[in-house]
Amino acid sequence: MLKAVDYSSDQDVRWCPGCGDYSILKQVQSVLAEFEAKRESTVFISGIGCSSRFPYYLNTYGMHGIHGRATAIASGLRAVRRDLDIWVITGDGDGLSIGLGHLLHALRRNFRLKILLFNNEIYGLTKGQYSPTTPEGHRTKSSPMGVIDHPFNPLALALGADATFVARTMDRDPLHLRDVLKAAHAHEGSAFIEVYQNCNVFNDGAFFAFTDKKTKANNTVYLEAGKPMVFGENNDKVLVKEHCGIAVDTLENAQHPLVHNPGDLHQAMLLSRMFDLPETEMEQPRPFGVLYQTHRPCYEDLMQQQIQQAVEKNGAPDLDALLAGDTSWEVH
């Protein structure tokens, strides 16, 4: 049986010391061991960016592609190889800026891929420009007077593309990270996982509101299927339905605490919109966990089905018949 270390390649890991990527790599290796993943049938595909170095550090198959195209490369691979366990590693620049189109199309097609989007709200590898998830007003190398782009809400985007599995987790909560990875691995379809990842060099503390001991409890709500959405320092707050939205109430007062149902698209959409800027005191907590999960046939399976149907209809392939076409004639 393989242990987590057996999934490590012989390459030196080159992320900055303290980078959140280390934790994610470690948890991925550990769940691979837990699944008893076969190294030969596990593939990691990435684009370009700090996170995209990921495949080099795993002793499985892997491809470090070009900027933004990991989901498209993985889609093609999955289309021809339904036997492989394919993971996509991307980031907020790679997956939401230059490669957003491919990401959304992979999600709507529902290729069976586990797509890990490491969100650090910054461009790390190119040394500190703002990304599509950097909050407005944020000062970076390319926005000395503050970002004027409105940021993307990755989970809302994924839901908008009809993703069949949408989750959020963070580098600093290894246990939760592993649970989400396991749920994603079991999902038959595209699994989109946003991982909050701290870039301690260019955007240190972007998610401290959700990870710091002092603020975490009030700013995060961990979603668990079938359980009320309780949170807070003393576990005394809960999410409730209010008009068309979601509000915070005390557990004591709440008549109808919201119970998490990952199959409820409407509720998932409301949860995804709980996207207040992370201040120390946020009005609404940010949800973590599997927001949404549903089932829809995978593109590659439908593709294979059509091939089978065509064989049933037209018989086994006959190259000579194909070359001869419908009408041919003899020249003597």
Partner 1 sequence: MNEKAPKLLEKATILFAGDSGDGIQLTGFQFSQNTALEGQDLSTYPDFPAEIRAPIGTVSGVSGFRINFGSQRIFTPGALVDALVAFNAAALTKNIDQLRNGGILIVDESGFSKRNLTLAHIPEDQNPLDDEALVNSYKLLRFDITQMTKEALVDVPGSPKDKTRSKNFFALGLIYWMYSRSLQQGEKLIAEKFKAGSVAFDANIKALRAGYHLGETIEETAVRFRMDAAHLAPGRYRSVMGNQAVALALIAASQKANLPLFYGSYPITPASDILHELSKQKHFGVKTFQAEDEIAAITSAIGAAYGGALAVTGSSGPGIALKGEGIGLAVILELPLVVINVQRGGPSTGLPTKTEQADLNQALYGRNGEAPLPVLAPASPTDCFDITYAAAKIAVEHMTPVMVLSDGFLANGSQPWKFPAASDLPLISPPVASEHTEDYQPYRRDENLVRKWGIPGTAGIEHRIGGLEKQDITGNISYDAENHQKMVNFRQQKIANIPVPDLAIEWGDPEGDVLVLGWGSTFGAIREAVINLRNDGVKVSQAHLRYIYPLPANFEELISGFTHILVPEMNMGQLLGYLRREISKPLTPLHKVKGVPFASLEIEEAIRQLLK
Site for ligand SF4 contains 120 (CB under 6 A): yes
Compute how many other C-beta atoms are within 10 angstroms of the C-beta atom of residue 5: 10
Write down the least CB distance from residue 196 to ligand SF4, Å. Answer: 12
Closest CA to 250 of 236, 264, 261, 232: 236
Among 47, 68, 93, 124, binds ligand SF4 (CB under 6 A): 124
Q: Which residue's CB is nearer to ligand SF4, number 199 or number 248?
A: 199
Q: Is the dihedral of CA 7, 126, 133, 144 positive or negative?
A: positive
Among 28, 37, 50, 86, binds ligand SF4 (CB under 6 A): 50
Instruction: Quote the tokens at residue 260.
Output: 């998490």
Interacting partner of 66 out of partner 1, ligand SF4, none (Cβ under 5 to 8 A depending on kind): partner 1
Helix-helix angle 21-35:174-186, to 10 degrees: 50
Among 19, 32, 37, 45, binds partner 1 (CB under 8 A): 45
109: Cα separation from own chain's centroid: 15
Write down the least CB distance from residue 51 to ligand SF4, Å. Answer: 7
9-28 residues in contact with partner 1 (CB under 8 A) are 9, 11
Q: Where are the alpha helices (DSSP H) in 164-318?
A: 174-186, 208-211, 213-219, 265-272, 299-314
Report yes or no: 118 and 90 within 8 Å, Cβ to Cβ: yes
Among 23, 51, 78, 134, binds partner 1 (CB under 8 A): 78
Interacting partner of 1 out of partner 1, ligand SF4, none (Cβ under 5 to 8 A depending on kind): none
What is the distance between the alpha carbons of residues 52 and 55, in angstroms, rounded to a whole number?
7
Which residues are bridge partners to 90 per DSSP? 117
Site for partner 1 contains 330 (CB under 8 A): yes
Q: Tell me, by CB under 8 A, how many residues bind partner 1.
A: 60
Among 201, 247, 251, 265, binds ligand SF4 (CB under 6 A): 201
**Beta-strand relationship, 165-170 and 286-293:** antiparallel
Compute how many other C-beta atoms are within 10 angstroms of the C-beta atom of residue 289: 21
**Beta-strand relationship, 85-91 and 114-119:** parallel
Task: Please provide the DSSP assignment of 161-190 as one string.
Answer: TT-SEEEEEETT-HHHHHHHHHHHHH-SS-
E strand intervals along 95-218: 114-119, 165-170, 191-196
Q: Looking at 55-63, 121-129, 194-202, 288-296, which segment touches partner 1 (CB under 8 A)?
A: 55-63
Write down the least CB distance from residue 35 to ligand SF4, Å. Answer: 26
Compute how many other C-beta atoms are within 10 angstroms of the C-beta atom of residue 184: 23
Interacting partner of 181 out of partner 1, ligand SF4, none (Cβ under 5 to 8 A depending on kind): none
3-22 residues in contact with ligand SF4 (CB under 6 A) are 15-16, 19, 21
Write down the least CB distance from residue 86 to partner 1, Å. Answer: 9
- Label residue 36 left, alpha or beta by phi (over 0 means left) and psi (-120 to 50 means alpha): left
Write down the least CB distance from residue 198 to partner 1, Å. Answer: 24
Site for partner 1 contains 105 (CB under 8 A): yes
Q: Which stretches of the chain bind partner 1, using CB under 8 A?
A: 9, 11, 38-41, 43, 45, 48, 55-56, 58-66, 69, 72-81, 83-84, 101-102, 105, 303, 306-307, 309-311, 313-317, 319-320, 322-332
Q: Which stretches of the chain bind ligand SF4, using CB under 6 A?
A: 15-16, 19, 21, 50, 120, 124, 199-202
